[in-house]
């Protein structure tokens, strides 16, 4: 079983919890996510299964879409509802049209500094490890792009916002920056990732649905099925082969997941030569262009054109 599986992550569990659960129910040893979601956040969590974990770096996840709810008037140390309030301010006085004008100033390329409570590493340690000890460290800003900000419901101390942005954007930072621009303070109280590159929420498999596939008998809560404590009683699971068969329609092939790259088809004999370290066919683009070498519906290699010809980046 290899490919990409989109899980609609519920609030209250970590991305690692989801990875561990999918690894356990499928028996696939190598499972990895392509981009973490905070425990309070929900939505698209793409998982790579089996050899697809070797292809994560070639995905085009440059576009992210989030539905966010900003709590105005209060900023927290984490930028989300799990933190402590560190700053308060009056609620914005602008009406919806005034807010939209302010939002326009946030569009385009800009620098953004990752928040203190994030997994970005400095000297081998994640920033949240420093933050939990009260230690401050210097963090380099990153270049990000905000493609669009669509204002939804806006009433009282809540503002709904649909964010389309580049990879690496922290919605938690953006929420307080926007609130400050409105003369207030703010933090995310809800966040749902609707899209991560080629993966959309409509393609996602919910944990309750996954639990239905996994439980031998119906009628159990998903967390009882999927998150039983280690060493504790576990709801009986269906045979693993049955679970894999039920999951199969939700697993996207590597070729589809890497659909932004052009294809070069080869026959079975050439595919075997490539797998043994043989030469690859040239791609359709110039130097630096990447492409997929495929045999029927199977991915053989991810390749790139170099000054000396075709070069294998990854052979499966």
Tens-place pLDDT, residues 51-70:
999 999 999 999 999 999 99
The CATH H-level superfamily of 261-315 is PUA domain (2.30.130.10)
Residues of the chain with CATH 3.30.70: 3-59+200-252
Our CA dihedral for 244, 249, 254, 258, rounded to 10 degrees, sits at -150
Structure confidence at residue 119 (pLDDT) = 75
For the stretch 270-277, contacts whose Cβ atoms lie closer than 8 Å and that sit 24 or more positions apart, written own/partner, are: 270/295, 271/295, 271/298, 271/300, 274/300, 274/301, 274/312, 274/315, 275/300, 275/315, 275/316, 277/315
Q: pLDDT of 215-236, one tens digit each?
A: 999 989 999 999 877 777 889 9
CA–CA dist 294, 79 (Å, integer):
44
Convert the pLDDT of each residue in 30-51 to its tens digit: 999 998 899 999 999 999 999 9
Is 38 one of the annotated active-site residues of the chain?
yes
The DSSP line for 29-69 is: S-EEESS---TT-EEEEEEEEGGGGGGGGGS---EEEEEEE
| pLDDT tens sequence across 182-207 | 999 999 999 999 999 999 999 999 99
* Numbered ranges of CATH 2.30.130.10 in the chain: 261-315
What is the CATH number assigned to the segment(s) 63-196?
A: 3.30.2350.10
Burial class (CB in 10 A: 0-12, 13-18, 19+), 121: exposed
Q: What is the pTM of this model?
A: 0.91
* 208: nearest Cα among 38, 21, 14: 21
Mean pLDDT of 99-104: 97
d(C-alpha 33, C-alpha 249), whole Å: 19
Catalytic residue among 8, 38, 80, 176: 38
Residues of the chain with CATH 3.30.2350.10: 63-196
Residue with tokens 């994640």: 126
Q: Are 8 and 44 in contact (CB under 8 A)?
A: yes
- Angle, alpha carbons 75-80-86 (nearest 5°): 30
pLDDT, averaged across the chain: 94
Q: Please state, in angstroms and rounded to a whole number, the distance separating the CA atoms of residues 74 and 248.
A: 45
Give the CATH number of domain 3-59+200-252; options: 1.10.15, 3.30.70, 1.20.120, 2.10.25: 3.30.70
């Amino acid at each position: 079983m290899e490919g990409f599986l989109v899980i609609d992550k519920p609030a209250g569990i970590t991305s690692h919890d989801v990875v561990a659960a999918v690894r356990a129910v499928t028996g696939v040893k190598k499972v990895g996510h392509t981009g973490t979601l905070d425990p309070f956040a929900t939505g698209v969590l793409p998982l790579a299964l089996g050899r697809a974990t070797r292809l994560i770096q070639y995905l085009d996840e440059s576009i992210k879409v989030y539905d966010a709810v900003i709590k105005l008037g209060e900023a927290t140390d984490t930028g989300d509802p799990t933190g402590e309030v560190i700053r308060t301010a009056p609620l914005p006085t602008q009406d919806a049209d005034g807010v939209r004008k302010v939002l326009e100033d946030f569009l385009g390329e800009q620098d953004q500094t990752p928040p203190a409570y994030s997994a970005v590493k400095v000297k081998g340690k994640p920033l949240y490890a420093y933050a939990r000890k009260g230690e401050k460290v210097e963090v380099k800003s990153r270049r990000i792009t905000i493609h669009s900000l669509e204002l939804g419901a806006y009433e009282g101390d809540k503002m709904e916002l649909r964010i389309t942005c580049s990879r690496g954007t922290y919605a938690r930072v953006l929420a307080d920056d926007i609130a400050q621009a409105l003369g207030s303070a703010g933090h995310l109280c809800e966040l749902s990732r609707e899209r991560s590159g080629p993966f959309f929420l409509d393609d996602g498999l919910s944990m309750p649905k996954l639990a239905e596939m996994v439980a031998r008998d119906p009628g159990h809560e998903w967390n009882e099925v999927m998150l039983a404590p280690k060493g504790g009683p576990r709801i009986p699971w269906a045979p693993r082969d049955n679970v894999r068969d039920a999951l199969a329609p939700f697993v996207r092939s590597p070729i589809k997941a890497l659909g932004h790259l052009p294809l070069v088809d080869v026959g079975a004999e050439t595919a075997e030569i490539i797998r043994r370290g043989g030469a690859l066919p040239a791609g359709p683009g110039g130097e630096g262009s990447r492409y997929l070498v495929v045999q029927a519906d199977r991915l053989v290699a991810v390749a790139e054109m170099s000054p000396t010809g075709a070069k294998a980046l990854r052979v499966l």
